[in-house]
Amino acid sequence: MKSPKQIIEAISEYHERIEVVAQDFNSGKNLFSKIDPYELATLLGEEPEDFASRTHCGHRISIENLDYPVHHYFQYLEGKISAERIGKLKKVSQDFENNLVKSDAKLTRKEIDLIEEGYVLSDLEDGGGWVVAEHCFKSETGIELEFQAEIGDGGECFGCYGPYQLRDGESAYSDETVTGESW
């Protein structure tokens, strides 16, 4: 009996391979789910490192893990909350840094989120993070097979998710992923 990989390899045309996998995926039989998603994408005609759609990503960093008093990060609040509020927060935070008060400025959840996201986006602009490349194979009958590949600084794929994994809730994106520029 042929393995799922051998079944696909026996089909010479990529569009026919895509259709066979699409029908399997759509039917829920999941025969081809046993193939590693990186290898499956390659069998369908596209290397994950070559996926054209790309998004720069980073992990959200908790404000508790930032080294300085919070006023060092207020540039991420500018234009998003009132200047008066920033001024009050900055005074308390600078007083904390100068040992004039016992605790740093108290931020709202919204302010914390703005600082954490702004910090990661700034890191992405400076070349931090990684890239998620995406590709969609569309079958002749209209079924779409989505793929995501995590791409490192050297262009290597270090994680790949195919339609079966994405349907089952696995993804290159998590609740802690902040997305930056896409191209």
- Tell me how far apart the alpha carbons of residues 106 and 82 are, in angstroms, rounded to a whole number: 15
Give me the tens of pLDDT residue by residue for the chain, a chain 183 residues long: 999 999 999 999 999 999 999 999 999 999 999 999 999 999 999 999 999 999 999 988 899 998 899 999 999 999 999 999 999 999 999 999 999 999 999 999 999 999 999 999 998 888 888 999 999 999 999 999 999 999 988 899 999 999 999 999 999 999 889 998 899
State the DSSP H helix or E strand holding residue 48, giving kind and residue range, or none if neither.
Answer: none
Q: What integer pLDDT is reported at residue 134 of this predicted model?
A: 98
- Tell me how far apart the alpha carbons of residues 153 and 135 are, in angstroms, rounded to a whole number: 19
Residues in the chain: 183
Nearest Cα to Cα of residue 133 among 69, 48, 62, 75: 48
Q: What integer pLDDT is reported at residue 137 of this predicted model?
A: 98
Q: What integer pLDDT is reported at residue 35 of this predicted model?
A: 98
What is the distance in angstroms between the CA of the first residue and the CA of the last residue of the chain? 43
The residue type of 171 is S
Spatial contact of 179 and 55, defined as CB atoms under 8 Å apart:
yes
pTM attached to this predicted model: 0.81
Q: What integer pLDDT is reported at residue 60 of this predicted model?
A: 87
- Tell me how far apart the alpha carbons of residues 69 and 15 are, in angstroms, rounded to a whole number: 57
* 95 Cβ contact partners less than 8 Å away, ≥ 6 residues apart: 101
H helices of the chain, in order, are 4-9, 14-27, 37-43, 83-97, 109-125, 163-167
Nearest Cα to Cα of residue 60 among 183, 141, 175: 175
Q: What integer pLDDT is reported at residue 22 of this predicted model?
A: 98
Q: What integer pLDDT is reported at residue 125 of this predicted model?
A: 86
